[in-house]
Amino acid sequence: MTRFPTHNKKLKDWVNRMAKLCQPDDIVWIDGTDAQKAALEQDALTRSELIQLNPEKLPGCFLHRTAVDDVARTEHLTFICTRKKHTAGPTNNWMAPRTAYRKAKAIFKGAMRGRTMYVIPFSMGPVGSRFSKIGVELTDSRYVVLNMLIMTRAGEAVLRQLEKEDNFTKCLHSRAQLDINKRLILHFPEDNTIWSVGSGYGGNVLLGKKCLSLRIASYLGLREHWLAEHMLIMGIEEPNGHIEYIAAAFPSACGKTNLAMLVPPEGLKVKGYRIWTVGDDIAWMRVDSDGMLWAVNPETGFFGVAPGTNSGTNPNMVETIKKNTIFTNVLLKADKTVWWEGADGEIPADGIDWQSRAWKPGAKDANGKPILGAHPNSRFTAPIVNCPSASFRMEQPHGVPISAIIFGGRRQHLAPLVYETFNWQHGVFAGATMASERTAAQVGELGQVRRDPMAMLPFCGYNMADYFRHWLNMGKRMARPPKIFHVNWFRTDEKGEFLWPGFRENLRILEWILDRCNARVGALKTAIGYVPYPADIDMTGLNLDAGALEKLLEVRNADWLEELKGIKKFFNQFKRSLPPELWQEYKTLQERLKSHE
């Protein structure tokens, strides 16, 4: 047996077994030192896996391009592998563990020949905190290693922790042939194991992120009475210096990152609000002895959507990605800086697009569609510490207390700008019935409305009926549960234009939400929940068209009655497993909608 820098027998045995399967030329343990990172970067540059960006303008930054058919999460190739199909539930792809291991083994077999296997010990959450979870990812991708070093706490300190505790999620990844027909993203919650093969794209391969921190963690959370959620966490410092924290779940590419680090709009500046970013994608939440819900962000970096990011929409992110950032699938400019659709400055006269082709603005493909410089799901990986609004409570194992939970999605017509649910159970119903128009963050048809409960449809590691019940139970465990709200920044007018300017202006809605949490304003009771009186939203400095706010806040009962049909269909697939409380909410909503008609 090779000598490994650990006494943990379980770890040593597992690494040996996986090495035997994948047959790498050598094994390198990631220690988290700057020297090792620099060596990996050099290696990746030599092999053209990374492109060095302009060291004056973008110090410590690199560009990476993935395969053309490997640019977003592939949900149809993502499986929950539990002994019983019922455990995975009707919304997940399921495979029996034996079949899954067998199929994947055939692809992993010898896949690392001629390559190095890197062993990345990583901790989601501060190392050693009892709220944290440890994983070890084996990978043959230097891009994965360098991303994991940004996104997680990885290296020596985690190995030391593994001398004391035995439990870790076994994560195996190989690029193999990057063949979409031999690509599988497999989760074995009953074995605390993740196997991913045939991809090099973020969510498929940075196994600490969606695979561990949501799919596996949600399964653990059910057993250990906590919640692993696809949510941003942010602090809103009020003019009096008091900070209130909120968590918000929006589906992929629906605005979590942007909201988490917003800069207050001019009109509200005099009030002195300040935003503190705790996390932009994942929240782990527990009930504490004070009866409140506390949240931590288990990650240490952002894996954010590039297109649309500029100094107007997200100045804090523009600042964050000026150094030590890995860009994926964006346009490369002649001066070795990067660009994407909706970036700052002028559209470059030329460049190399995300598919390594010479690019000029205005170019069209064979179907007359514009050729984009950056892929719509192009991303950047950047450390949270780079962010000017990074919270000073990031390292606190305990996290932050949550006053409000916000659900939201992209709905052109249905959902009003904001509404407040009546109570926890009704809030869980609002979350469970969320729907959103599809984005480029996952492979599939854009724009199509799909139900995405709590923004967790692709990320819940077990039967969603049990997940809803878990949410209902969590409410009962809390003396002071957060109030639950729903927002929609994406309502459009007859011309299809957004009615709401969004981005920093969203603070105006957060202000109303906090006012409601602190019983400072009244609200209009509608069939779906409480909606603001227009006068209670501070519109200072924002010149919306006359009547636009009223249009944004309108609740059209006929539309909601139509929506109930889709909800019913969605609920029906859970058969008798669905908590009766949700059918009860369905019926009372239906009655309210009919009586208000």
The span from the CA of 410 to the CA of 217, in Å, is 26
What are the φ and ψ backbone dihedral angles of 174, each rounded to 5 degrees? -140, 140
Helices 217-224 and 464-477: angle between axes, nearest 10 degrees: 50
Closest of 265, 234, 263 to residue 248, by C-alpha: 234
Determine which one of 22, 81, 171, 254 is catalytic.
254
* Nearer to ligand GTP among residue 172 and residue 454 (C-beta): 454
10 Å CB burial of residue 128 (0-12, 13-18, 19+) is middle
Least Cβ distance, residue 323 to Mn ion (angstroms): 23
* The total number of residues written for the chain in this structure: 597
Q: Do residues 171 and 211 touch, judged by C-beta distance below 8 A? A: yes
Chain-centre distance for alpha carbon 271: 31
Shortest reach from residue 135's CB to ligand SPV, in Å = 15
To ligand GTP, the closest distance from the beta carbon of 3 in angstroms equals: 40
Q: By rule CB under 6 A, what string of x and - marks binding of each residue 401-430 to ligand GTP?
A: ------------------------------
Distance CA 188, CA 195 (A): 8
d(CA 380, CA 319): 13
| 126-165 binders of ligand GTP (CB under 6 A) | none
Residue 209 interacts with, from ligand GTP, ligand SPV, Mn ion, none (CB under 5-8 Å by kind): ligand SPV
Q: x-or-dash pattern for ligand SPV, window 63-102, by CB under 6 A? A: ----------x-----------------------------
- Please say whether the dihedral angle defined by the alpha carbons of residues 488, 493, 497 and 499, taken in this order, is positive or negative: negative
Binding mask 205-224 for ligand SPV (x = CB under 6 A): ----xx--------------
Residue among 114, 145, 107 at smallest CA distance from 23: 114
Among 97, 401, 502, 534, indicate the residue that binds ligand GTP (CB under 6 A). Answer: 502
Q: In angstroms, rounded to a whole number, what is the distance separating the alpha carbons of residues 193 and 174?
A: 15
Q: Is 143 helix (H, G, I), strand (E, B) or coil?
A: helix
Is residue 325 a contact point for ligand GTP (CB under 6 A)?
Answer: no
Q: Does 441 bind ligand GTP (CB under 6 A)?
A: yes
State which residue, 300 or 526, has the beta carbon closest to Mn ion. 300
Dist CA 153 CA 296 (whole Å) = 14
Query: Looking at residue 125, what DSSP letter applies?
Result: S
| DSSP 8-state secondary structure symbol assigned to residue 27 | E
* Nearest-angstrom CA–CA distance, 355 and 471: 43
Question: Whole-number minimum distance, CB 553 to ligand SPV, in Å?
Answer: 28
State the nearest-atom distance from the C-beta of 412 to ligand GTP, in Å: 11
Site mask for ligand SPV (CB under 6 A), range 409-448, x = bound: --------------------------------x-------
Q: Which one among 66, 74, 213, 252 touches Mn ion, defined by CB under 5 A? A: 252
Q: Side-chain half-sphere of 40: how many Cα atoms within 13 Å?
A: 25
Q: Which of ligand GTP, Mn ion, ligand SPV, none does 258 bind, CB closer than 5 to 8 A by kind?
A: ligand GTP
Site for ligand GTP in 277-296 (CB under 6 A): 280-281
Residue nearest to ligand GTP as judged by C-beta position? 502
Residue 210 binding: pick among ligand GTP, ligand SPV, Mn ion, none (C-beta 5-8 Å cut-off by kind):
ligand SPV
Interface positions, 529-558, toward Mn ion (CB under 5 A): none
506 near ligand GTP (CB under 6 A): yes
281 binds ligand SPV (CB under 6 A): yes
CA nearest 411: which of 496, 334, 491, 500? 491
522: closest CA among 535, 509, 510, 505? Answer: 535
Verify binding: residue 375, ligand SPV, rule CB under 6 A. no
- Sign (positive/negative) of CA torsion 509, 513, 516, 518? negative
- Tell me how far apart the alpha carbons of residues 434 and 425 are, in angstroms, rounded to a whole number: 14
Q: Among this protein's residues, is 517 annotated catalytic? A: no
Nearer to ligand GTP, 90 or 308 (CB): 308
- Chain contacts with ligand GTP (rule: CB under 6 A): 250, 252-258, 280-281, 304-305, 307-308, 313, 441, 489-490, 498, 502-503, 506
Residues marked as catalytic: 254
- Chain contacts with Mn ion (rule: CB under 5 A): 252, 281
- Chain contacts with ligand SPV (rule: CB under 6 A): 73, 202-203, 209-210, 252, 281, 303, 441
